[in-house]
Amino acid sequence: MSEEHSPAQDFSTRRFDEARKRATANAPAFWAVMARAIDWFVQPQSAFDDKRGWFADGTMNTCYNCLDRHVSAGRGTSTALIYDSPVTDTIT
């Protein structure tokens, strides 16, 4: 086994492949399950509507889901994003 390969990578790759297969087989069902992981002000009743698109009857706040809920959960001092600039050669 090479130094670049680990059992954790196998697990992650396997889980990714399984998720991709589920998403490809039935995208609306897959994304309905995934949508349970975020906070909604109004929970959508369906994942996809042919005329209205994805989660058309649901209401959520992207900023809250990306930032605020993590602060509320006590992770406000955790690093959220690391930017490594190839232009200025700085990491912030």
Residue boundaries of the structural domains of the chain = 7-91
b/e 9-48 (16+ beta carbons within 10 angstroms → b): eeeeeeeeeeeeeeeeeeeeebebeebeeeeeeeebeebe
Give Cα separations from 76 to 51, 63, 65, 70, 83 (angstroms): 39, 14, 13, 7, 18
**Could you tell me the pTM of the whole model?**
0.69
How high is the pLDDT of residue 5? 56
Q: Which residue has the higher pLDDT, 24 or 9?
A: 24
What pLDDT is recorded for position 81? 83
**Residues sharing a CB contact under 8 Å with residue 67, sequence separation 6 or more, in sequence order:** 80
50-59: per-residue pLDDT in tens?
A: 999 999 999 9
* SS3 label, residue 48: strand
Q: Is the pLDDT of residue 45 over 60?
A: yes
